A and B are shown apart, each in its own frame.
Chain A
Amino acid sequence: MPPIRDKFIIHSKAVVCQDVDLKGDITIGPGTVVHPKAIIYAIGGPIVIGSNNIIEEGATIVNRRKEVMRIGDENLFEIGSRVESPSVGDQNTVSTKARVHHTVRIGSHCSIGPKCFINTSEDIKLDDFTVLYGPNWEERLWSGRGQKQAEDLSTKHVEYLKEWLPKFNRLRRGEMP
């Protein structure tokens, strides 16, 4: 394997803390908040993260594949979660300590509950509105009712972090797009 060349493109409106662990070719879009101690490794191919995502402490995002790993908008990766999905849609929540294997693509409006673990031998895609929860990783489909409220909450969450994180953390700047 050739050595990984670091290339970080961080949008001027993104909030990426200094103390994050980045490797490889990574693009971070406007409004996206990356907390300290988050880990983003583009080992195989590049990682492109859209706008207004939140990546919390200890959350790990890894691209093991050659093709670009695309993460959409307004996703929340909670503390200690680990996602290696080749693609992630919009408005998903990956809860604390949840893990998603590199064979699983995530649609939109999905919720992966705390400590849920998705690992398949073949490539699959989680349908939009999939909910995984509980100790047995049970699966449901969300009706979508309350979606507007969820969006609203997510917007407020991002706004709050954008205001407060820079007061206590040094920010990282990458090349402008």
Chain B
Amino acid sequence: MSATIKYYCSCLSNTVVPPAPHLPSSSHSFHTLPELYFCEECDAVRCNECVSIEVSGYYCPNCLFEVPSASVRAEKNRCARNCFFCPQCFNTLAVVPSDPPDGTSFHQANSMGEPPFLLYCNNCRWDSAEAGITFEKSTGLAQQLQKHEDSAPDSLEFERLKDFFEPLLRASSSNTQHAPGTSSHSTHTNPITAAASSALARDIPGVSKYHPPPPRSRQKSKHGSKDDMPTYRSRVEIGGINGYGAGGEKDADLFSRLEHPSQVSTLAQKWTGSWSVSPLSRDLKPIRIPLHSRLTKRCPSCRHILIKPEQKAQSVRFKIKLVAANYLPAIEVHLPQPTASTRRVPGARTTQDADQSNSSRSSLLPGKSYPFRLGLKNPLYDPIQVRLVVQRQPLPAVPSAGEASTEKSRRPPFAISLPSTAFSIAPYAEAWEYEDEDDLDGLDDDDGLSPVKAAKGRSKTVGVLEKKANTTIVGGEIVIAKDGRGDAKFNMLVSYTYRSDEPPVDEMIGSKRATDLVKTNPETKTFTFYTVVDLGTIIPKEDARTASPDAY
């Protein structure tokens, strides 16, 4: 539904407490549970921002060939076998033989098919003969194409550029103790950057020519700067295939004779190519498929491996997979009904329609209260005790610019009620082990952790609502202030106590609470983590009146 929950990784801050939900930094610190890892060594959640990543192997996503890392560079990060994208529609191409001559049926012909072979697209029915490419053999097509590619002017130019920069790179690495010049802010102090930027400043095909007045610093560096970088002169005027695509007279002539937009190659078709690409779609060449990599991920602090895929490209399994979903309870938030339909005429909309409209964020009205549900699922083979605490929100410090700082705006925009006592979640079990004990495992045999009683007068909405298998559903409530505005977002601390396999030597945060909860079992541990719950947006009074229900 529209309400969401995300889990905190503390890597971006120095404290274990997350930023307040209205701060911009909040969105970078919270992640969905499936994106998170768990380091057993550190007993901590890790995210993709903080884990260190190593490439454990390269493979072609099409033929699943594992490419040794030594040859990845030589093959320019693309599959060097028979894998190509269609230059028109980016479908993968198939190698097909030529049709047998008329009169003979296909069965009679050679089973391998007749040369020349073509690359053929089953989606748009493009074939490589349209671009003038055919093959004598049906294997090793990339090598057969390599000759074309290597002799292309762009490719030769690139090789020359590399040769040109080679000595400069060597020189720069040999005297790294290079005293910064007077114009140290200039990017030209480093010979590599200097060379690169001067090369980049040359005309780019397809981009209209622009000659900015040379800045002073560059003129200076030309005359006797310590860089002593020779000027690079390109051997060929880069002009794409057949000299087209450079933005010159020839292109203008070409485009004046176009008859159909499909004759022009689209931007998407052009920028997948490594070299400058023809402006005509009929000239487009098949594209070797870029390689993918499999990654190993490590904990940033203890260097233990969190994710290690199996070596084989065909395998979808992992040798090591420490994901947070196997350690932390999965929580789902559900806000039963947004206001959109409650404000409508009764009967004007069926509940089904209303459910479908929930895909957008739900909107909440000031001065109202809404029940919501949290479904917690236990991934462990042992029962856990969970306690939920709403993190106190610092009041919005300064009201937004241009608004009078009234007393009203200093009040919190909403208040959250959650079950205040701990509740249990049954252990995870394989589906067949549950049988029909589901019905027995209801609220009744709950060991004294029944819903919050009349003390709060909300026994129906706030408290434990349902227990089924390894899921416990608890109810909460949000009360929106009369002048509330902004997002109904709050940080929630979740602590759960579980039976530890290790002796309870290093009791951690919240251990005090743990002993309160489970007095009988000394071998328990408590883990705490933060989440952010987003229930929707509060529609300020004035907007709510004008908002038309049709907008949903």
Known contacts A139-B262, A147-B99; is A134 also within 8 Å of B105 by CB? Answer: no
Complex interface: chain B residues within 8 A of A147 (CB): 99
Known contacts A133-B89, A140-B88, A140-B262; is A145 also within 8 Å of B124 by CB? Answer: no
> Which of A133, A146, A148, A149 is the one whose CB lies under 8 Å from B124?
A133
The CB with the most chain B CB atoms within 10 A, among A131, A142, A145, is that of A145
Complex interface: chain B residues within 8 A of A122 (CB): none
Q: For this complex, into which size category does the number of interface residues on chain A fall?
A: 10 to 19
Q: Would B127 and A143 count as touching, CB distance under 8 A?
A: yes
Known contacts A140-B126, A152-B105; is A145 also within 8 Å of B88 by CB? Answer: no
Kindly supply a per-residue 1/0 record for chain B positions 96-132, scoring 1 wherever the CB is within 8 Å of any chain A CB and 0 otherwise: 1111100001110000000000101001111101100
Residue of A nearest to B99 (CB): A148
Kindly supply a per-residue 1/0 record for chain A positions 121-139, scoring 1 wherever the CB is within 8 Å of any chain B CB and 0 otherwise: 0000000000101100011
Complexed CA–CA distance, A37 and B98 (Å): 37
In chain A, positions 95-133 with a C-beta closer than 8 Å to chain B are 111, 113, 131, 133
Complex interface: chain A residues within 8 A of B123 (CB): 113, 133-134
Residue of B nearest to A134 (CB): B89
Residue of B nearest to A132 (CB): B124
- A-B pair count, CB < 8 Å, reads 49
Complexed CA–CA distance, A149 and B126 (Å): 15
Q: Would B130 and A143 count as touching, CB distance under 8 A?
A: yes
Complex interface: chain B residues within 8 A of A148 (CB): 99-100, 106
In chain A, positions 144-171 with a C-beta closer than 8 Å to chain B are 145-149, 151-152
Complexed CA–CA distance, A17 and B352 (Å): 35
Complexed CA–CA distance, A146 and B127 (Å): 9
Complexed CA–CA distance, A139 and B125 (Å): 11
Complexed CA–CA distance, A113 and B99 (Å): 23
Complexed CA–CA distance, A143 and B132 (Å): 13
Kindly supply a per-residue 1/0 record for chain B positions 218-229, scoring 1 wherever the CB is within 8 Å of any chain A CB and 0 otherwise: 000000000000
Residue of A nearest to B91 (CB): A133
Complexed CA–CA distance, A131 and B107 (Å): 27
Known contacts A131-B125, A133-B89; is A146 also within 8 Å of B96 by CB? Answer: yes
In chain B, positions 83-97 with a C-beta closer than 8 Å to chain A are 88-89, 96-97
Complexed CA–CA distance, A145 and B123 (Å): 14
The CB with the most chain B CB atoms within 10 A, among A134, A138, A146, A152, is that of A146
> Which of A131, A134, A145 is the one whose CB lies under 8 Å from B129?
A145
Complexed CA–CA distance, A142 and B118 (Å): 14
Complexed CA–CA distance, A45 and B302 (Å): 76
Instruction: Kindly provide the distance from the CB of B65 to the nearest chain A CB, expressed in whole angstroms.
Output: 26
Known contacts A146-B118, A148-B106; is A140 also within 8 Å of B125 by CB? Answer: yes
Q: Would A145 and B262 count as touching, CB distance under 8 A?
A: no
Complex interface: chain B residues within 8 A of A143 (CB): 125, 127, 129-130
Residue of B nearest to A148 (CB): B99
Complex interface: chain A residues within 8 A of B106 (CB): 148-149, 151-152
The CB with the most chain A CB atoms within 10 A, among B89, B96, B105, is that of B89
In chain B, positions 112-166 with a C-beta closer than 8 Å to chain A are 118, 120, 123-127, 129-130
Q: Would A131 and B124 count as touching, CB distance under 8 A?
A: yes
Complex interface: chain B residues within 8 A of A133 (CB): 89, 123-124
Instruction: Kindly provide the distance from the CB of A60 to the nearest chain B CB, expressed in whole angstroms.
Output: 23
Q: Would B124 and A140 count as touching, CB distance under 8 A?
A: yes
Complexed CA–CA distance, A151 and B105 (Å): 10
Complex interface: chain A residues within 8 A of B105 (CB): 152
Complex interface: chain A residues within 8 A of B97 (CB): 149
> Which of B89, B107, B127 is the one whose CB lies under 8 Å from A145?
B127
Extra 8 A-B pairs, beta carbons < 8 Å, given A113-B123, A146-B96, A149-B106: A113-B124, A131-B125, A133-B89, A134-B124, A140-B124, A142-B125, A145-B98, A152-B107
Closest 3 CB pairs of A and B: A148-B99, A142-B125, A152-B106
Interface residues of B, Cβ cutoff 8 Å to A = 88-89, 96-100, 105-107, 118, 120, 123-127, 129-130, 262
Interface residues of A, Cβ cutoff 8 Å to B = 111, 113, 131, 133-134, 138-140, 142-143, 145-149, 151-152
Can you pick out 25 interface pairs between chain A and chain B where the beta carbons lie within 8 Å of each other? A111-B125, A131-B124, A131-B125, A133-B89, A133-B124, A134-B89, A134-B123, A134-B124, A138-B89, A139-B262, A140-B88, A140-B124, A140-B126, A142-B125, A143-B130, A145-B99, A145-B118, A146-B96, A148-B99, A148-B100, A149-B99, A149-B106, A151-B106, A152-B106, A152-B107
